[in-house]
Chains A and B, each alone.
Chain A
Amino acid sequence: MKDFINVSPLTLLELSSNKELGRGNLGVLMSRAGVGKTACLIHIAFDKLFSNQKLVHVSLDDTPDKVTSYYNVIFSHLVKALDIKDEIEKRMLFERNRMILAYMHQSFEIKRLRENLKTLVEKLDFAPDCLIVDGLDFEAADKETLQGFKGVAEEFNVEIWFSALTHRHITDKNERGIPYPCSRVDDMFSMIIQLNSTQTGIFLELLKDHDNPVKPDASVRLDPNTFLVTP
């Protein structure tokens, strides 16, 4: 197997000051619809899973079946792209280290997430290192909700990655260069990255790097088929 860590989209963080999001912190991946937000988010998940970290995928929209099929499709692409020989072992590794928590029909509450994580730790001895939160409506999400997530990140000592949908027709940015809808709540995030599709390719760009200025050209080019970093 070629080294996934060297071609994972999270290689971008090598260009950041701390080289990681860090436990207790929130990060967000922003992208327009159809660019590959979910695929990129799941690559972030695989980055953690292949490093033998425990991960909880929180889905606020999709059923576990759908989430599982996203992982399976991306894994099968990775098997081909990275020439993974020990496919069965790798699959067992990520299935054992991944837990899907789905909240259907507005069932989600921070309180429930906290209780569920507690159950995982206490009953299953499954202490996560990272949370992936997919499907949070950033236009409707208030600061209180994000503060709740921040509390969860600190209490369970995990880093949390979100996905956020941007719109083609809303080009507003705040004074720090963060696009809508995260522009209203960017202080809640330690890292903000954006997936952009341009005529020359797909790029993952660092927009916020903790409290440090973002280095110029802090972006990586991704293969549009595999979402792996390409020269």
Chain B
Amino acid sequence: MAEDIQRLRNIGISAHIDSGKTTLTERILYYTKKIFAVHEVKGKDGVGATMDSMELERERGITISSAATFCEWKNHRINIIDTPGHVDFTIEVERSLRVLDGSILVLCAVGGVQSQTITVDRQMNRYKVPRVAFINKCDRSGADPIKVNEQLRARLNHKTALMQLPIGLEGDLSGIIDLVTMKAIYFDGPYGEDIRIEDIPQNLIDNAKSYREELLDTASMFSDELMEAILEDKVNEELIYSAIRQGALSRKLIPVFLGSAYKNIGVQPLLDGVLKYLPSPVDIKNTALDMDQDHKEVEVSSEANAPMLALAFKLEVTPYGQLTYLRIYQGTIKKGDDLINSRDRKKIKVGRLARMHADKMEDITGASAGDIIALFGVDCFSGDTFTDGALRYSFTSMFVPEPVISLSVTPKDNKSEMNMAKALNRFVREDPTFHSHVDHESGETIISGMGELHLDIYVERMKREFAAEVETGAPQVSYREAVSAKAEFNYIHKKQTGGSGQYGRVAGFMEPSETGAYEFVNAIKGGVIPTEYIPSIDKGFQSCLKKGRLIGFPVLGMKMTINDGQYHSVDSSDMAFLQTAIGAFNQAYAKAKPIILEPIMKVSVECPSEFQGNVMGSINQRRGIIISCTEDGVFTTIDSEVPLAEMFGYATNLRSNTQGKAEFTMEFSRYSKVPESIAEELKKTLAEGARKGKK
């Protein structure tokens, strides 16, 4: 328990899909002796890489769900979260970045900085995560790590420090040159476990000296001591390490390592770099919200003897029950402790504590500040804060994007119906971007998420993990409604059906809100509506926003103002004014010129330049707007904005347009008005769909 927190690293491994991060993690686990054999992603041995714990991930050769694992390197403890590369699963990336102190940004030495790298980098900026970069796959044909380092500078706007140079490239890659120690490092043995250090080959010395000069120049910007040492020609390794660490911790510098995880080259020096340049929990300033002080932001201490504070950042179903991944920010958790969930103030008892290693685990008796652990059988949601009861703190809720796509799921039989309900309940708790509800008109279960692949994975998981056989409907875009003009209302709700009646009158106007969020303004004067009924009017309006009167989708950006009304001393009640508000809303809505909004996606396509015209044409055909086009060598990146409704099947279309040589990423950008002609068509289609649903 008294382990030194400064010897702890919580890191993530984030990158573009297929840049080899799962292979890199596999090698890290092998060198830290957490596993004793290496299995490749999509390997011929059929075992699959250790971090791809879900069956589906092994089959597809991609990492979907982040798996946490723990290892030790040179007397330091390292918690690693392996994160998915596909943009549809970015909530996983976002969650892991929220709880991590540092990250390894993996890049492919051939593909370099790609659109997904930019997305992941942006996310790291949002959560202020210091990072080191690893340029992987230097053994591949076309590898150019120097160019990738340049791309990090130009495309991501980072100051970088190239820490190494390759010895040979592509098929001739045989080792690396350390530009700090000015030694050549070779990796012998079947899996590169035996490190051999030699002098730099003669033919590479001049180049190494020149890059070392550049490294010293960069590093000296972060340390006056190093600057002086350079001028006095008294540079030593410790000064360089310390300067680069200062740069990396301040997120103004990214140390860049290189190698090939697959060929077992460069992984151990990268691990050394993680210890040297990434922060321990005490180097990072974390904050929480104090609920007793009106959610004031307060700094968290990272002391092991301070009151306990932890964040549940991931939930997972395992054969042993629900597993909750927890990051402890301050204090200590021991087996048998009572914890309080800040959200609902419910008390839970810590039964079993474990350190996770992909899908295997190691039971532990306690853990303290900085650690990432797993608890068993805790009933909570992802994002919940736990305390020992001494503090009423909550961590800032993680940024969760709204789902943009929905589809209906129908169980094939009774057994599947029960299993589907269990599965959905579980998924909703695990993933805040995954939503599920029953459409009252059609009776169908609707699931919503961040993209086609996102929902596709959950449907597959229902089948595999919960034995729920389901049929899916066509994907449906999550439209929204909004009003575009000001409209007045003056509505009387009067009902007399025996017993006490219902009476209320409310007048005012609705208009688009400037903030984009729902606003309610009470401009009633002289108590024409008693204060006690005002919340019911607000509630009545808000209930109408859930389902707009135009096409039945939620209403965004509405401002409701009430300025007059009337009540009856006997017949007015909360219920009566709630109904009055609903009537008033309905009275004014059509007059306020409602419009349909659709999700607009930021789409970035990378392709060889010769296909630029085809790609631009394909985006244009989908009502897309090209924002920019960037040429870099033989590759072109086309950034655009395209309505989600037009993006179904785009992957297939793009493949056929570019001979399979292009790839794209897509993320939600904003809601925008649907053009009139399409809106009319959409209203007809949705009305028809609703009629069929009722039948």
Contacts and interface: CB of A to CB of B under 8 A. Distances in A.
Contacts of B616: 119-120, 123-124
B282 interface: no
11 contacts: A64-B627, A65-B157, A104-B151, A104-B154, A105-B150, A105-B633, A107-B631, A112-B609, A116-B612, A116-B631, A123-B613
Given A63-B155, A63-B157, A119-B613, A101 B620 contact: no
Contacts of B639: 64
Nearest to A109: B631
Contacts of A68: 627-628
Interface string A85-129: 000000000011001111111011000100010011011101000
Interface in B138-181: 147, 150-151, 154-155, 157
B336 interface: no
Given A105-B150, A112-B609, 17 more contacts: A63-B155, A64-B627, A64-B639, A99-B626, A99-B629, A100-B629, A102-B629, A103-B630, A104-B155, A105-B151, A105-B154, A105-B632, A107-B631, A112-B631, A122-B613, A123-B613, A123-B620
B612 A66 contact: no
Given A63-B155, A105-B150, A100 B633 contact: no
Contacts of A108: 631
A52 to B, nearest CB: 16
Contact of A107 (B612, B625, B626, B633): B633
B617 interface: yes
B345 to A, nearest CB: 44
Contacts of B629: 64, 99-102, 116
B628 A64 contact: yes
Nearest to A100: B628
Nearest to A62: B154
Interface residues of B, number: 22
A7 B630 CA distance: 33
Contacts of B154: 63, 104-105
A211 B150 CA distance: 44
Contact of A63 (B609, B625, B627, B630): B630
A107 B629 CA distance: 12
Contacts of B630: 63-64, 101-104
B627 A100 contact: yes
Q: Which of B612, B631, B632, B633 has the most CB of A within 10 A?
A: B631
A107 B627 CA distance: 19
B628 A103 contact: no
B628 A104 contact: no
Contacts of A119: 612-613, 616
Contacts of B625: 95-96
Nearest to B631: A107
B620 A124 contact: yes
Interface residues of A, number: 25
A64 B157 CA distance: 12
Secondary structure call for the B interface:
mixed
Contacts of A65: 157
Interface of A: 63-68, 95-96, 99-105, 107-108, 112, 116, 119-120, 122-124, 126
Interface of B: 147, 150-151, 154-155, 157, 609, 612-613, 616-617, 620, 625-633, 639
A112 B154 CA distance: 20
B374 to A, nearest CB: 39
Contact of B157 (A66, A112, A120): A66
Nearest to B610: A115
A197 to B, nearest CB: 27
Contacts of B620: 123-124
A105 B636 CA distance: 12
A67 B155 CA distance: 12
A126 B155 CA distance: 26
**Residue with the greatest number of chain B CB neighbours at <10 A, chosen from A66, A99, A104, A116:** A104
Contacts of A122: 613
Contacts of B157: 63, 65-66
* CB-CB nearest 9 A-B residue pairs: A64-B628, A100-B628, A102-B630, A123-B617, A104-B632, A119-B613, A107-B631, A123-B616, A103-B631
B445 to A, nearest CB: 38
A152 to B, nearest CB: 16
A117 to B, nearest CB: 11
B610 to A, nearest CB: 10
B631 A104 contact: yes
Nearest to A101: B629
A126 B625 CA distance: 11
A122 B616 CA distance: 10
Contacts of B627: 64, 68, 95, 100
Contacts of B632: 103-105, 107
Contacts of A96: 625
A63 B620 CA distance: 22
A85 to B, nearest CB: 13
A24 B632 CA distance: 28
A17 B627 CA distance: 36
Nearest to B624: A124
Contacts of B617: 123-124
B633 A102 contact: no
Contacts of A120: 616
Nearest to B633: A107
Contacts of A112: 609, 631
A68 B640 CA distance: 13
A102 B151 CA distance: 14
Contacts of B150: 105
Nearest to B632: A104
Contacts of B633: 105, 107
A119 to B, nearest CB: 4
A108 B631 CA distance: 8
A102 B612 contact: no
A187 B155 CA distance: 36
B373 to A, nearest CB: 39
A49 to B, nearest CB: 14
A102 B629 CA distance: 6
A99 B640 CA distance: 11
Interface centre among A63, A68, A95, by most chain B C-beta atoms within 10 angstroms, is: A63
Contacts of B631: 101-104, 107-108, 112, 116
A65 B632 CA distance: 15
Among B155, B616, B620, B630: residue with most chain A CB under 10 A? B630
Nearest to A106: B633
Contacts of A63: 154-155, 157, 630
Contact of B628 (A101, A105, A126): A101
A103 B639 CA distance: 14
Nearest to B618: A123
A102 B628 CA distance: 8
B624 to A, nearest CB: 10
Most chain A beta-carbon neighbours within 10 Å: one of B147, B154, B609: B154
A112 B609 CA distance: 9
Nearest to A108: B631
A105 B629 CA distance: 14
A96 B626 CA distance: 9
Contacts of B613: 119, 122-123
Contacts of A102: 628-631
A66 B625 CA distance: 19
B332 to A, nearest CB: 44
A113 B616 CA distance: 15
A64 B154 CA distance: 11
A116 B630 CA distance: 11
